Structure formats: C-alpha cells, structure tokens
Structure 1
Amino acid sequence: MLKLKMGHRATWNVLLISFLVTYICQLCCSSAPLYVLDPLWPKEPSLFKGQIFSAAVDHKHGEVFITQRGDGLDPVLVFSEDGEYKRSFHRNISVIDTIHGSRMHYNTSSKTSDLWLTDIGNASLGHTVKRFSSEGKILSVIGTPGKAGTSLRPLQFDHVADIVFGSQGEIYIADGDGGLNNRIMKLNKDFGLEWYVEGSGSSPGKFNIPHSIEVDHFGQIWVADRKNNRTQLFDSKTGDYLGEWTECFKTGQPYAIRMSADKSHFIILQLQENRILFVSSPTSPGNPGDCHVIGQIQMAPDLKPHLLAVNQDTGSFYVAEIGGDACQRYVPFKG
C-alpha cells in the first residue's frame, strides 16, 4: 500500500499524489459515494507549513479559515471557497497561542461574521475562548486569560476543545481535551452561564475527553465523547442527558462531529483510523435510538483527521489533518 505523509516540506507533486490516493479509493470502493475529494483545493497547499488543527467556514462571505500550529507561523490562513489564498492572522503569541477548535458565527443584526477560537496555550490569553473579526482583530475573550482551572465563577477552562452556537446566539462549549475538566456548558449571548454538565467517567452524562460539540436540526446538543467511544446527546434548554450512540464507534474514537448541510446525517472523524463516517441523523427529537452508518471514506494512511467544518450553502466540508499537515475539501457527489 502506498504510504504518504504530507509534511511541511512536501512539494506540490507529493501533495497532489496524496490527494489522488484518497480520491481514487473513494471511486473504486463505492458505487455511489456521498462525497468526493477535491484534489485541487487549495490552489497553494504549500502555504500549509505546520500541523492543521481546525477549519471554519464563513458561507455568507465565501471564505474558509484554516488554523495551524508551529513556531513562528501565522496561526490562521484565510482562503476563498475556490481555494485562492487571501490573507492570514499574523503571529502574535500574546493574542493567539495554541489553537484547538474554531467556528464561524454570523451576526444577523450587524451582518458580520466572527471567527471564534479555542486557545489551549499558556500565554497571556491562553485557556480561553476568543472572538475575532474576519480580519483578525480580537473582539471578546471568555474565560480567565492565561490561567487554567476548574472554576465556574469566574469561568476558567483547561484545554477547551470546541464551540458551537444555537439559533439565538447561545454558546455551547466542550471543555476538556485532556486537561483538568471533563464538561460541557451553555452560555447565553452575554456569556452568562446557563447550565453545565461535568464529571469524569463512562456513565451517562460523564465524559472522557469531550472533544467536539454540535447542534442538530432539533436544537439538541451532541458531544463526541472521545475516549468513551461514543457520542452523547443532551437537551439544549436544560442540559439533561437524552441518549448516546456507541455501536458506530466500536472500532474507533469519534474526534469531531458536524451536521451535514442538508441535516440528513452527521459527519464524524476518526483520527486513529484515518476515517470519515457518515451517520444518519435522528428523525425526531429525544432519545436518538440506534446509530446507522450510511457511508464512509477511508483516507490515506497517517493523515489523522482532527476537526472539520461544513459549508451550509454548498454542502462541502473541510477536514483539518494534523498528520498530513493539510486541509482537504470534500464536495457532494453528483453522479
């Protein structure tokens, strides 16, 4: 089997070959895939020079934000949906130290899109959730800057992993990528704490690295409970536990969970297996019942898909690879 890893010194030819390995595998292994790899996105993959940890899509303005780690590197790269490089957030460790997750939020009143980042670093604004303008200006900070902890008042994070927004601007946060905390929480749009669910363990409502968080089409909260090999479901108003899926994850931990643009399925990444799963979304709120895998993409070895973002207009999604040092785009298959 051809084994390729796209390091930061990779040439365009090596990158293209790696893209095509996954692309050809999809076409050969499935008569009707849900998505196919776009082997030519972005147009300048050599701009990826560090580990790529997350992606966020501003579908209102046609931009894709890619986050990377590495000494001296700009932490955020911005591309057009067509893959043209547009700009970057310049390196300033006092503002952005070590990004883990990212999410775009569109403000309907101001008609602006903001980029939200979770920062797990130890610098002056580390261990926080931060809001930036699309040009890179810092606008808000949630948490206790530079200080990891377990407190809820004042709010502290430790290795805060992921963030998602509800329809009214409320904020849901997964706090615990291996740090002091194993919890999720809801904040109102003014950053006030509404509820939280916490505790280490494998029983319902407990977590062992809540790595990713998502809101479904019923407004319910899904959590990729990574080391428990499951996704858990919670009521968005109360935080009450509603159910979980385990059968789909017996062969791999769920690292990221995002809902497809048409709301018919979830897109779930399994880093250790280099796999993308497509799991049917529930048809009614409440207990989700059994999980059903409706498709998958087996990626090239050692790419290690970490987090992803979905374009709510086109249905395309972008996968951040910490092993491949790249971000790849998958588009809906139109056979």
Structure 2
Amino acid sequence: MQRALIAAFLSGLMSPAIGTYIVQRRLSLLGDGLGHVAVAGVGLSFLTSTAPLPLAVATCVVGAVVVELLRQQGRATGDVGLAVLFYGGLASGVMMAGLGGQGAGVLSQFLFGSLTSISDSDVRTVAVLAVAVLVLCVGLWPRLFAVCADEDFARVLGLRVRWLNLLVVVVAALTVTMSMRTVGLLLVSAMMVIPVATAQNLFVSFRNSLLGAMAIGAVVAFGGTVGSFYWDTASGATIVVCAIAVFLATWPLSRMIHHHHAHGEEAQACEEVCPQPPHEHGPDHIAVHHGDHVDYVHAGHRHAPHGDHCDEH
C-alpha cells in the first residue's frame, strides 16, 4: 500500500503537469492515443519475453515522435495521427500478446492499472522520471506555453518551436507509460485532462492553472487510492471518478470567478478610455439618454460619469 500511494501521488503530479500543455494545444485525446501505442509495446514484450516497461516506453516515444513529425510536415493532420495511434497501437498490441501465448485478459492490468502489483523498482523508476517530467514542465513553462498557445508568435520570438513540440509529445509519452500501472493506459488521459479542467475552473492565469492542476491531480490520485482500498474497487477507476467528482464540484465556481475577472478587466479598460473626472466628452462620444442621466459610448464601452469615477453600463 505504501508503494501504491507513492506511485499514485507521483503520477498525479506528472499527468496534469504535461496535460496542461496538451490541453492548451487542443489535443486532449493525445493521452488516449499514446496509451494505445504503449499497448503495442506491452504486446511486444509478451512476444519477446522481456520486461514490459522499457518496451512500452520506447514504443510510445517512437510513435509520438513519428506522429508529431508527420504533423509538422503537413503529411497528416492531428486527427489522422491520433486515429493511427488509437487503432494501430491497440490492434497490434493485442495481436502480439496473442502470438506470445498471452490472452487479451493479461493486458487488463496495464489497461486499467494495478497499483497493488507495483514493485520497489517500479516506484524508483516512476520517481526518477517524475522528477524529470516536473523539472521540464515547470522549468520551461514560459517557452512551452508560448509554443502551445501560438506557434507562429513563438517563432517570431526566436524559440525552437519544432524541438519544443517534440519535447511535449515525448514527455507525454513518458508520462503515459509511467502511469500505466497506476490508472492504466486507457484512463491515463483522464488524469491529463480532468485536473487541468478543474484548475481552469478555479484559476485564471496559466501559471496558477499549471500548479493548481498538479496539486489537484496529486490529491485525487492519493485520495482515490485510499478510497479503492476501503471500497475494494479498481484503483485506476476510483482515481478517475474522484477527479470527475472534484471537477463537478468546482464547475459552478467557474462562472463566478471568470465573470468577476472579466468585470475587473472591463472596468480597467473603461478607466483607461474614460479617465477620472474632470473629463469632457467630445463629439466622438455617443450620448445615450438613460433614465435621469446620460450615458456615453466610446471605445466599445458605455459608461456614465458618477462622482469621481465612471460606472460601466
């Protein structure tokens, strides 16, 4: 149980960290695609009678790089690349597992997670890669955000867009394969997306959303693991259900937080175009009679002088 809690906590930190950039690129299903490619690596390990983790990592990284290079060269769209990942990886993995004398049922512990079977060496491997993933995602967040938000603008800034894009998909591939023993290959995408969506409900800035998603992911992973122990349920499914529950609980707050932020921006913009009185409205300010006073429209804002400030209408 101690190994399970440590591995779940680390996976909960890793998955939203890279997932924040994946969501920013509008590739929320990339984790699913990489998970299916990792199935091919697991099937290959059964066929060659070798350890599944190294082959799953290698296969997933190669598949992610190939798809990203095809996307950059314009030879395949994001949707086509994800379709190849989905169907080719899963089908070849199941086929190779069968050729290796293993039924599809043996793959279930990798597809849906098996925290109780994690060994000391697995925990050490997850810990090392978790540190690497977190250092890259947090240390390079201004550059990665620029690339994921607007590639053309990032090129103007002089960033190496191609290599940074490859870095994102490689780190995503490592995160997926490291999480296959905790939440499973079929559910890891949920941990890359749902905590990020929850953080976006609660925070406005990208930096706060990144750190908030990591904290939320770690909490739900830890809590889901504890819950699966007491409820005697599958750990991966319980973790994802806990993440969804937290998202639904914070969703009503999203409108209030973002409405308050947007109202603050509007007030600031109005203050910029309508300085504090004394202020004279010229012919370019459209006058609109509103009850017992007059509103003025200019620069996209409708407001009325009120004492020592302007009221936004």
Higher normalized helix content (fraction of residues) = 2
Structure with bigger RCO (C-alpha 8 Å, 6+ apart): 2
**Superposed pair shares fold, TM > 0.5:** no
Q: Which has the larger radius of gyration?
A: 2
TM range (shorter): under 0.3
TM-score normalised over the length of structure 1: 0.22
Greater strand proportion: 1
Tell me the TM-score normalized by structure 2: 0.23
